[in-house]
Amino acid sequence: MRNVRLWRALLGVDRRTVIEDIEFAEDGDGAELVVARVRSRSGMSGRCGRCQRKAPWYDRGEGPRRWRGLDLGTIRVFLEAEAPRVNCPPMGRPW
């Protein structure tokens, strides 16, 4: 099993997600954590998160955001990515 496939399985992400970097760090209390920097595959950006249609950009977000991932035993995991929003007319709101 290649590293990428292993990390995809451990992080719980699918093939539409590109894992750019994995960083091992410590939080303020000295506890270990893993930060995985991810992005969507080319061709998937600029799409509505609900209906998957291409839509015009609403904004670029406010820098990278972090989401809690599936923990690796006692090690906390975070996924970090840019989170621009699109304005999807059929859905009626920015996503």
pLDDT tens for the chain, 95 residues long, are 478 889 999 999 988 899 999 999 998 899 999 999 999 887 777 888 788 888 888 888 888 999 999 899 999 999 999 988 888 887 776 55
DSSP 63: S
**Domain residue spans of the chain:** 4-86
**Pairing label, strands 85-88, 57-59:** antiparallel
Predicted pLDDT of residue 1: 46
CA atoms of 78 and 65, how far apart (whole Å): 10
